Structure 1
Amino acid sequence: MKKTALLLASLLIGGTAWAQVPVPAAKQTTPTLLTGATLHVGNGQVIEKAAVAFDNGKITYAGPAAGFNAGATAYDKVDVSGKHIYPGLILPNSQLGLTEIESVRATLDQQEVGIFNPNVRSVVAYNTDSDITPTLRSNGVLLAQVTPVGGMISGSSSVVQLDAWNWEDALIKADGGIHLRWPGLVQMGDNSPQAQQRKQQRDAGLQQLSALLAEASVYKNQKNDKQNLRMSSMTGLFDGSKKLFIHADYGKEIIEAVRFAQKAGVKNVVIVGGGDALMVADFLKEHQIPVIYSGVHALPARAGDDVYLPYKMPGYLQKAGILFCLDYDASLHGTRNLPFIAGTAVAFGLDKEAALSAVTLNAAKILGVDNRVGSLEAGKDATLIVSEGDLLDMRTNKVALSFIEGRKLNLNDKQKYLYEKFNHKYEVGK
Structure 2
Amino acid sequence: MNPTPFMRLVGKTVRRAYTLAPTATLALSSVVHAQNSTAPSKPQSKPIAIVNATIHTATTAQPIIEHGWVLIENGIVTSVGVTPAQLPAGVDVVDAQGMHLSPGFMASATQLGLIETMQAEATDDRTEYGEFHPESVPAVAINPDSDLLGVARNAGVLLALVTPMGGTVSGSASVIRLNGWTTEDLTVDARVGIVVQWPLVEATKQWWTRRSVDDQKKRFAETRAKIDRFFDDAKAWVAAKAADPLVAHDERFEAMRSVLEGRDSVFITVGSASQVESAVLWAKERGMRPVLIGSNGIVHEIDFLRNNGASVIVTGTHQLPGSEALHPNAPYELPKQLANAGVPFALASGDEPAHERNLPHNAATAAAFGLDPEAALRSITISPALIAGIADRYGSIEAGKSATLILTRGHPLEITSGVTQAWIDGCELDLNNRQTRMKAKYDEKANQGR
- One-letter identity of the residue aligned with 2:433: D
Residue 345 of structure 1 is matched in structure 2 by 366
Alignment: residue pair count: 413
1:327 aligns with 2:345: no
Residues in 2 aligned to 1:189 and 1:346: alpha-carbon distance in whole angstroms = 37
Pairing 1:117–2:137 present:
no
Which of these residues, 311, 321, 330, is aligned with residue 290 of structure 1? 311
Q: Which moved more, 1:416-425 or 1:277-286?
A: 277-286
Cα drift, residue 331 of structure 1:
2.3
How far the C-alpha of 1:205 sits from its partner, in A, is 1.2
Report SS of the residue matched to 2:144: coil
Identity over the aligned pairs, expressed in percent? 33
Say which of 192, 201, 208 aligns to 1:185: 201
Task: State the secondary structure of the residue aligned to 2:173.
Answer: strand
* Cα distance in 1 between the residues matched to 2:96 and 2:232: 56
| Structure 1 partner of 2:225 | 207
The corresponding residue for 1:8 is: none
Matched to 1:104, the amino acid is: A
Instruction: Measure, in 2, the Cα distance between the counterparts of 1:17 and 1:248.
Output: 37
- In the alignment, the residues of structure 2 paired with residue 188 and residue 408 of structure 1 have an alpha-carbon distance, to the nearest angstrom, of 52
Match of 1:365 in 2: 386
For residue 9 of structure 1, what is the aligned residue in structure 2? none
CA RMSD of aligned residues (A): 2.0
Matched, 1:260 2:278: no
* Equivalent in 102, 105, 130 of residue 121 of structure 2: 105
User: 1:388/1:214 Cα in 2 relative to 1: closer, same or farther (>3 Å)?
Assistant: same
Q: What per-residue deviation string (whole Å, max 9, x for no partner) do you get for residues 163-214 of structure 1?
A: 0111111111121110001111233789985332222122111111101111
How far, CA to CA, are the matches of 2:143 and 2:396 in structure 1? 27
Residue aligned with 2:190, SS: strand
CA-to-partner distance for each residue in 1:214-260, whole Å, 9 max, x for gaps?
11111112234431111111111121222100111322211111111
Displacement of 1:70: 4.7
Which residue does the alignment assign to 1:91?
Answer: 107
Q: Give the Cα–Cα distance (whole angstroms) in 1 for the partners of residues 87 and 445 of structure 2.
A: 48
Q: Which residue of 1 aligns with 2:439?
A: 419
Contact kept, 8 Å, 1:21 with 1:130, in 2: the verdict is no
Separation in 1, partners of 2:158, 2:119? 26
Larger mean CA deviation between 246-255 and 150-159 belongs to: 246-255
**Residue range with higher mean Cα deviation, 114-123 or 216-225:** 216-225
Distance 2:37 2:176 in 1: 17
The equivalent residue for 2:333 is 312
Worse-superposed segment, 220-229 or 147-156: 220-229
**Paired letter, 2:80:** A
TM-score (normalised: structure 2): 0.88
Match of 1:159 among 175, 192, 216: 175
CA contact (8 A) 2:205 2:213 kept: no
Alignment equivalent of 1:221, drawn from 234, 239, 264: 239
CA contact (8 A) 1:21 1:134 kept: no
* Letter matched to residue 220 of structure 2: R
Q: Which amino acid aligns with 2:435?
A: Q
Of 198, 202, 215 in structure 2, the residue corresponding to residue 197 of structure 1 is: 215
Segment of structure 1 superposing worse, 112-121 or 404-413: 112-121
Q: Is the 8 A contact 1:275 1:294 kept in 2?
A: no
| Match among 64, 71, 76 for residue 53 of structure 1 | 71
- Structure 1 pair 110–17 and aligned structure 2 pair: CA distance change class (3 A): closer
Q: 1:209 to 1:49 in 2, by over 3 A?
A: same
Deviation of residue 18 (structure 1)?
A: 4.5
1:234 aligned partner: 256
Amino acid at match of 2:48: T
Equivalent position SS for 1:149: coil
Tell me the equivalent position of 1:4. Answer: none
Q: Distance in 2 between matches of 1:323 and 1:353?
A: 15
